[in-house]
Amino acid sequence: MGSNSRTERWRQLLSPHRVGSPAPKEGAGEKAVPPPDERILPDERTDYDRDYDRIVFSSEFRCLHDKTQVFPLSTSDYTRTRLTHSIEASCVGRSLGQLAGRHLVRDQGVEVEPSHLGTIVAAACLAHDIGNPPFGHSGEAAIQHWVEQRWRSSDSEPESPFRNASEWKDLQSFEGNAQGLRILTRLQSRERWGGLRYTAATLGAMSKYPRPSVLPDGRTPVKGRVSEKKFGYFQDDAKLAVEAFRALGLKEREPGVFSRHPLAFLVEAADDICYAVIDLEDSAKLGLIPMEEACKLLEGVLPPQPTPGKEPRPPPAHLETRMAQARARAIGMLIPACVKVFLEHAEEMEQGAWETPLVSAHPDVREQLERIKSITRRKGYESERVLQIESAGFKTLGGLLDMFALAVVTDRPNREERKLRQLLPMESFQRPEFAELDQKKPPERDAAIERLSKYQRLLCVTDYISGMTDGFAVELFQRLSGIKLPT
């Protein structure tokens, strides 16, 4: 593919189209631009800058401050939460995007603005964990387990709330990535189709798995195809997801099943880098892994090549300083290593033909990061305290689902279920198709719930519960169970 056609391809991949915005009416002229306000300077942010800012100022992003990264409900003020992890991943992502953009221009003749790639990847990294429920992946498993135990399949029980296998699979395999897309396209500004209407470029970059929970004809995911490892959107959000992916020109292999956006590989790399390096550092800081062992592991990431006649400088004697230097150096080496792989396979990504994570495609990087992850998993993620709290979190989310999900699914709520319905925010049941009607006459709570399908009602509950912080979920469960009464 020539540089001109590749430039055109990247223009589509960086589409500033705001997903959910109404199509211009036929025969209508260009949208009138309001006259400038003489009191202030014009806003010169790009569309991608606005996406970044909208994520930062969202309540869902703020809630990440009390959501588990690795160590749930940590009493240490040092260990990362989902918020600090997302900010750090965003910094790494910006560097990856800008470096990739500069080399696309300089070495491959593709006319792109490197800062735009940096901002898109940074924004997508900020949002990459925004859909995670309390207690991280354990929280996802708790929701999946609850649905599986309650309804074995879409048609196994006459009272099943699911109309088809896709609806059942959405919740039986509940996925934080799909919830993240739902937050950005539906749950912010719920009364408007498309929510805050992020650009297709940002939504594409954050979508590692651009496919539904059930693949066409019920087939299994293709082995080795990383974009099919999980699913990326719920049936309820399919129209918006497909609008975004088609606006970007992503290869549609089958109806609703797309190839990844090239920048999604950089977002994944930023997450992988932080996940490996930073989680090891946190584990060492908590005393779960000896500090010196952690330093040596990080120093083994693409170690410096020896210079003839020059002795390597010994590491700092102070272990805290050594750890900080090892972490910074490891990240500094991994960024250009991943961008090198990205550039080697950029044309395949543009055509939807590349299916390997960047850290896995660099053999030296893959082996050392796997070694780090293995040790962190064994000594950190599977430590006694982490497993105890994750088990408690499993029961917490299952208990909240027992209360709220069953209260909204029934059309004949009993007295307790009516009280539980009152505890759910009314905004949980707002939808754009009812916005005009609701503005004229706000509905009663039961009417707002019962006009939704039972599948949609369950999504409203998972929206509410997955949006909770770890601490709030525990507090609410204890109060509603009578373990701890409100003060």
Percentage, residues of the chain above pLDDT 70: 94
* Structure confidence at residue 434 as a pLDDT band (50, 70, 90): very high
Q: Which of 68-82, 208-222, 349-363, 378-392 has the lowest mean pLDDT?
A: 68-82
Which of these ranges, 303-307, 336-340, 411-415, has the smallest mean pLDDT?
303-307
pLDDT of residue 112: 97
- pLDDT (average), residues 124-132: 96
Closest by alpha carbon to 129, among 76, 70, 47?
70
pLDDT of residue 26: 64
Residue 9 exposure: Cα atoms within 13 Å on the Cβ side: 20
**pLDDT class of 153 with cuts at 50, 70, 90:** low
pLDDT, one tens digit per residue, over 342-376 is: 999 999 999 999 999 999 999 889 999 999 999 98
Query: Can you give the pLDDT at residue 76?
Result: 62
pLDDT value, residue 154: 58
pLDDT in tens, 245-263: 999 999 999 999 999 999 9
Q: Among 145-149, 175-179, 236-240, 264-268, whose mean pLDDT is lowest?
A: 145-149
Q: What is the pLDDT of residue 1?
A: 67
322-332 per-position pLDDT tens digit: 999 999 999 99
Q: Is the pLDDT of residue 389 over 60?
A: yes
Report pLDDT digits (tens) over 442-459.
999 999 999 999 999 999
User: Would you state the pLDDT for residue 401?
Assistant: 96
Phi, psi of 452 (to 5 degrees): -90, 155
Task: State the Cα–Cα distance between residues 404 and 418, nearest whole angstrom.
Answer: 10
Tokens 């805290």 found at: 320
Buried b (16+ CB within 10 A) or exposed e, 42-81: eeeeebbbbbbebbeebebbebbebbbbbbbbbeeeebbb
Query: Is pLDDT of 155 > 60?
Result: no
Kindly state the percentage of the chain with pLDDT values over 90.
Answer: 76
- pLDDT at residue 188 tops 70: yes
pLDDT band at 34 (very low <50, low <70, confident <90, very high): confident
* pTM of the shown model: 0.93
Average pLDDT, the chain: 91
